[in-house]
Amino acid sequence: MLGVVAAPSGVGGELPGHSVVLPAGAFQPLLASMDRPLGELRDRAPVYRCPACEEPFDIESDRCLGCGRLLPHAFAPSPARAGVERVIRQGLSALGIIANRARVGPRAWRIAQRPFPAAETATQVDVEIDEAGRLLTLRAPVVGLPAANHEPFYRFLLTMNDQTTGEFRVSITGDEVSVSCVASLEGFSDHDAALLIDGLVQMADEYRRTLAETFEAAPRFESGSR
C-alpha cells in the first residue's frame, strides 16, 4: 500500500476529480500492530481508548474513568430518562447483549435475537423509549408482502391481530409486515423488558413461518424500511 485516501473528490479547495492521499509511512507504527496472520487477529480483543486522555475504557462505560469525558459511543444522558434507560440496559444484559454496542440513538437500540438457541438466523428488534421515558416500543420484521393473493393475506393479518394477546400487534409498513408492541414503563423491571423482547422475537418467528408457508411471503429477519 502506497497511501491512504483522506478526503473525497469535490472537497473545497481541491481540483475536480482529485483526492488527498497521505503516505502509508505516516501510519506505519499504527498499521504494524495489525500486520499479523488472520488467525491471530481473530483472537485479539480490541482496546478502546479515550480520545482525550488515551485511558483504556470498557465499551459498557458511558464516561472515561480517567478524565470523566463522555465517550464517543455514548449519547448525552437525560436525567428524566435515567431510570428507564438503566432498566433497558439491564434487560438487554439479561439477554446477553451489551447495550452500548446496540445503541443507535439517544432513545433507541437495535439488537439481533434468536427465538431459541438453535435457531439459524436472529431477528432484528428495534427498541425505543419515548421522549418522556414513559413508553417502550418494540418492533421486529416478519415477512415481505406476497406477490399475489393480497386480499386473503390482509384478511389473515386481521384475524391474526384479533387473536394476538397483550400488547403485541401485527402491522404493515411499506412492503413489510412486522410485529410490534407498546408497553408502559411505569413499574417496569429489567426482567419485564427481557421477557417482552423474547416474547416478541418468538411471535415474529411463529408468524414468519405461518405466513411464508401459507402465502409464500418472503421471510424478513432485518427491516428493509429503516
Query: Residue 47, class by beta-carbon neighbours within 10 Å (0-12 exposed, 13-18 middle, 19+ buried)?
Result: exposed
Cα–Cα dist 192/92, whole Å: 11
| Of 126, 123, 121, 122, the residue nearest 139 (C-alpha) | 126
| Of 166, 158, 162, the residue nearest 202 (C-alpha) | 166
pTM reported for the whole predicted model? 0.72
pLDDT (tens digit, 0 to 9) for every residue of the chain, 226 residues total? 555 565 554 545 555 556 666 676 777 777 777 777 877 777 777 788 888 898 998 877 888 899 988 887 778 778 889 999 999 999 999 999 999 889 989 999 999 999 999 999 999 999 999 999 999 999 999 999 999 989 999 999 999 888 876 789 999 999 999 999 999 999 999 999 999 999 999 999 999 999 999 999 999 999 875 5
Cβ contacts of residue 208 below 8 Å, gap of 6+? 142, 143, 219, 220
Query: Given the C-alpha cell 439488537, which residue does it identify?
Result: 111
E strand residue ranges, 1-80: 3-5, 21-23, 48-49, 56-57
Q: Evaluate whether 140 touches 201 at the Cβ level (below 8 Å).
A: yes
Cα–Cα dist 197/186, whole Å: 17
Partners of 176 in the beta sheet?
144, 173
Domain 79-215 class, CATH top level? alpha beta
The residue type of 15 is L
Cα–Cα dist 113/199, whole Å: 11
